[in-house]
Amino acid sequence: MAEKLEKRSVRRSNHTGGARIIHVALRFTIHPEEKREKYVELLDQMIKRVEKIINSTRTKTRQRLRAIQVLTDLIKTSYGMIRDVEIKELEREVTSLEKEKGKTS
């Protein structure tokens, strides 16, 4: 791996008491504000979809209760640290709710 990196990005420590330590400085930029904006928009869309399921007169009780739990999870996620895995899992839950019998109009 070290062979593929630029020479100036790899530094070997000589004072390790016999242990071999390699420090690697990777040069890349992360733009969390862009991802966060995308996630906030996605959460907002999912909240609206779940609210539609909850408020529909065609939604069965069991599905409505699941939708309320998903809505609770969406709200918790929107206030916490947003991670890819949580968003994808919630998206699957919302899609699953929408596909269940007793679809909303």
How much is the pTM?
0.54
Return d(Cα 9, Cα 28) in angstroms, integer. Answer: 12
Which pLDDT tens digit goes with each residue over 32-61?
667 777 888 898 999 999 999 999 999 999
User: Is pLDDT above 60 for 13?
Assistant: no
Return d(Cα 23, Cα 10) in angstroms, integer. Answer: 6
What type of residue is 26? L
